[in-house]
Structure 1
Amino acid sequence: MATVYDLLTQHSTNVVHNTHYVTQSNKEWARNYHPIRNLVVHSYHGGDGLVHADFDSAFLGSYEDDGMRMDEPAMAPNKRIWRLECEADCELWFHTEVSNVVLAGWNRYPQVTQTSHTKPPRVENIPEEVDAMYTIKYRNERTVIAIGEMKRNLIQAAAWQAGNVLQVAGQKMLSRELRGYAVKYQSPQVYCFDGKTLLLLQFRADTPAKMMDADCPVDCWVLPREGSFYSLRYALYRLMAQGFRRFQGMCALPISVGGLTPRSRRFFNGVPVWHPNGVDQDEHPGGYVRSVNGTSGAVKWTHKGEDADVDNNEDNNDNDNEEHTPTLVKGKGKGKAKVAIPTKKSKKAKKAKKEESKEEDEDKDKDKEDTYPSID
C-alpha cells in the first residue's frame, strides 16, 4: 500500500474542467480589518516553467515525528472527472484530492480533525464561519492549527506573487477577509483555494493581537493547481505541521535549558524567545537546539555537535531536556529520519535506519516511562 509520503510527492491526476466563473468577496464584516500590505512572498517562477516554493525560510524544519506521519498508509483518490462550476465544486475537489490525502498522515501522530463551516472552538457569539478548520483535541479542548477558505476563481496570482494586493480591489478585500478569519479563529496559518490557485498565508505575529496590526508581516506562497513544482498536498502538510508546532509551544510548561529560561514564545510558531543581555533572540545563546523525541513526540533540547540530551550536559541537571508539551500517541512507533521532499530515501536505507533506531531505543530507553501528555 502507498504511504502518505508517496502521495505527498504526487500531484492530483484526475482531469479537471474549470469553467472560470468568478465569485467576488465583499463581506461587510471584513472591512473592520486591515488589508494585508506587508507580504513576504516565498514562491517564485523557476527556469523550468514551474512555480517553486521555499518553505524552510518561514516554517520550522522537519523532525522525527514527521517521518512517522509520512510512513502512515494512504490511498489515492478514486479516478473521476471534475467540473468546477461553483464554489462548492472547488471545495469538494480540494478536500478529495488534497486535504483528505494529507489527513491520512494526521490520523494518529497526533489526530487532527477537519470540519467544514463551523465556528471556532470556545466561541459562540460570532456569525462568521470559515470553510475549513483543522483542530487538535487536548485535555478536552480543541485548538485550531490551520483554517482554509474557498473561493471561485477569485485569486489573482500575479498580484499576490508581486507582494502588492492593495491596488486590486477584489484582492484587497480578500486580504481583509483572510486576516479577519485568522483573528477570529486565532490561527496564523491560513489557506485559500479558488479552483485554480492555492494561497498559503502565515501571520508572523508574536501575540494573537499582533495579527490585527496593519504592518504585521505575512508569509505568502502562491501555488497554481497546474504548474507547481511541489504538490498542493505537500504545501498543505507543511502549513499544518507549522500549526502543530505552534500548538505544542502554546501548551509547553516553563523550562530551563543551559541555565536559561525563555522570556516568552512566539505565537505564530511556538518557538521560545531568549533574552540574554536585554536582546530578544530565537536561538539559544548556549548553542542548544530543539528537536523531537522519535518515540514520544515530545520536543527536546540537544547541544549542537553533541548526540547527548540536555540533561546529560553539566549545565543542566534538572532532567528538563524535554518540554512538557502535547506529544504523539503514547508508546506508539519509533522516529524516522527527517523528511526530504521530493527526494525519497530508498526502502533499504529506511529499513536500516529503522533497525538502527530500534537498537538505540533498546539500549537507552528500555526502562524509560513516557510521562508526557498525549493527544487523545
Structure 2
Amino acid sequence: ELVGSALAGGANRVLTNRALSVRGVATVKTTVDAGRVLARAGAVISAAAGLFESTQAGVAMNRTWRSGDTTAATGYGFSMVLSSIGTGFSIYAAASTTSALLGPLGIAMVLGFLAYGFYQWAQRKESSPFEQWAKRCYFGHANETPKVHWLRPDQAHIAIAELNAATLGLEAGVNFRLRMTGLSSPDYGGPIAGVSAPVYEQCLEYRLSLPYFDATRSAYRWTLTIHRHGDGPATQYTRGEVVVGGELNPPAITTSASERRAALATSTPPKKPDYRANSTTPRVTIRTVHMTDGSSTQVKDIQGAIVLLLEARHYNIEGATLSLTYWPDREVQEAYAELSMVDFQ
C-alpha cells in the first residue's frame, strides 16, 4: 500500500512539471496507473488480513474471557474492533480510486497498527500458569467458564498434578483458528482482476512441550479429542472422538485424565468426514536447552494442525479437549504432571 501510494503520489507531482515531453507524460501516467493498481492490491490484501486478524482477536477475546482474564479480554476486544473498522476502510480504499495516504488507506493503516498494539498488550496481560493454578486452588477466585475449583479432598491429586506442570514448565495448548495457506490464482477469486487473494482454512491446532525429557527415563501419554453437537453440555462432555494421541511407556496407574478418557463414550461419526484424515499426524522434535548454570536439558515438542472440512454438509464439531500426563522419571510413578484443556469453536 505504501509503495503504491508513494508511486502514484510522486508521479502525480511529476505531471505538474510542464517541461515534460508528450512521451514523458505518457510514461508518468503509466506510472501513476501502476501505483494506483498496486495501492488497491495492497488494500485488498490489507482487508483480507484485517478480517483474519479481527477474527483471531475475537477468538482470543472469547478464550481469555472464559479463562477469567478480563483485562486481556478487553485488550483483545479493542484489537478486534479496530481491526474490523480498519478492514472497512481497506475495503472502501480498494473499491475507490483514491490512493492518498491521508484518505481511507491511511486511516486503515493507522487502525491496523493500533489493533496490533492492543493485541500485543493483551497477550502480556494473560495469566501465567502459576496464576491460572492459583485461581483454581482452594483459595482462588475460580472465575473461569466452565468453573474449575478444587475444593474437595478427592481433587487434591488434580491440583498437585497441575502444580507440578506449572513448576516443571510443562506446556500444552489447543485452539481453533484460521490459517492462511497461500494465495489464489490471479485469474480466480480475487476482488480485483489479476490480483491474488489470500486463501484460508479452518484448523484445530495443538502443541505440547515436555521439559527435562529423557527417552530412557521419561514417560508420557496424551490425546486430542473432538466433540460434536450432541456429545453433551460444553461444561461436561460425555462423548467424543479421539483423533490423535501418543504415549511412551506410561506407568499403569490411574490419573484424572485417564479416568475422564475411560468414562468418555465414543462420539457418533458423521456420514461424511468433517476433518482431513491425512492431517492428523503430529510433528515431533527434540531440542536442547542450555541452562544458566552451564548444563543442558532436552525438551520434546509435539505439535500439529488438523484441517477441518467446514464445507461438509453435516459438519458439527463444536469443541476439543487436549489432555497430557507426563512423568519426568517413570520410576517415580506418583510424581507426574498433568494438564487438560478445552477449546470451543
TM-score normalised by length of structure 1:
0.23
Q: Identify the structure with the greater strand proportion.
A: 2
Higher Rg: 2
Q: Identify the structure with the greater helix proportion.
A: 2
Query: More relative contact order in 1 or in 2 (CA 8 Å, sep 6+)?
Result: 1
TM-score normalised by length of structure 2:
0.25
